[in-house]
Chains A and B, each alone.
Chain A
Amino acid sequence: MIGLPLFLILSTMLFSLGLFAVLTRRSAILLLIGVELMLAAANLNFIAFWRFGPNPAAMTGALFVLFSIAVAAAEAAVGLSLILVIYRHLRSTNPKEVNSLHG
């Protein structure tokens, strides 16, 4: 009963929530939180497909998630340090204030 579709729906909900955070939140850190949510949802997708997919012995999904976690960690680190630099410059973390590349 708890099959693939359910897990996928769950991950989709997580993903939508993460997207909502990215699109609407007023702090860069909260943006990053949204991104982490989306990544988590994607990882969940991979694991679900690995588990319910045709070839679990190949471990492709799981290994991919391994790398994804590593990348996500690195990206979070770099992103947070960027936020620190911006905070030092602008005294605020509002992403709408980082718009000097405007047209």
Chain B
Amino acid sequence: MNSLFEIIAFLLIGSLTLGAAVAAVGLRDTVHCGLSLAVVFVGVAGLYLLLDAEFIGFIQLLVYVGAVAVLVMFVILITRPEDGVIQQPDRRRQKLPGALIAAGIFLVTYGAIMQSPSLRRDVPEPAALSIRAVGEALVSGHLLPLMAIGVLLTTALIGAALFAMEGEDGK
């Protein structure tokens, strides 16, 4: 059973995340959306902490909030039109199919979650996510994905740099 502190923490962080997500999705000003995204990331990191995955939570903060969100903000600011008008006014009508699909996904998954008996099992003792354990696991059992991630990151770095270099013909 969760303590009261946990329940309140969950409610707070959860609503913060959701609110920021709604804002990220619904605000008109792109800059505001980007900032909301950063808040969402922070909220998610908080959730990780609630779930006893401290290491992952801090990684989330470092990478997502520290790098990705900043990157997004950069690009938003670069690609802003000069005259200050951010976006065309949204037409409510055209959002309907997307909304329906999203709602559909939510409903179906909600139904699946609610009906599934396996989700109400006994909760085991949480395991400690020590850095040492993570490191050992990475280089022993999960070596291959580690290497692959290395290659991927290298490629992405080179690729992104190449893209951003000349820009005229994509050279």
CB–CB under 8 A between A and B in the complex?
Answer: yes
- A interface residue count range (under 10 / 10 to 19 / 20 to 34 / 35 or more): 35 or more
Task: Name B121-153 residues within 8 Å CB distance of A.
Answer: 121, 123-127, 129, 133-134, 137-138, 142, 145, 149, 152-153
Closest to B79 in A: A87
**Is B12 on the interface with A (CB-CB < 8 A)?**
no
CB distance from A70 to the nearest CB of B (A): 5
B-side contacts of A93, CB under 8 Å: 79
Give the CA-CA distance A12 to B103 in the complex, in Å. 10
- B interface residue count range (under 10 / 10 to 19 / 20 to 34 / 35 or more): 35 or more
Asked whether B25 lies within 8 Å of A69 as measured between CB atoms, the reply is no
Asked whether B123 lies within 8 Å of A3 as measured between CB atoms, the reply is yes
Asked whether B18 lies within 8 Å of A69 as measured between CB atoms, the reply is no
Give the CA-CA distance A28 to B59 in the complex, in Å. 26
Residue-wise interface mask of B (77-106) relative to A, using a CB-CB cutoff of 8 A (1 in contact, 0 not): 011010000011010001101110111011
A residues adjacent to B (C-beta < 8 A): 1-10, 12-27, 29-30, 32-34, 36-37, 40, 43-44, 47-48, 50-57, 59, 62-63, 65-67, 69-78, 80-85, 87-88, 92-93
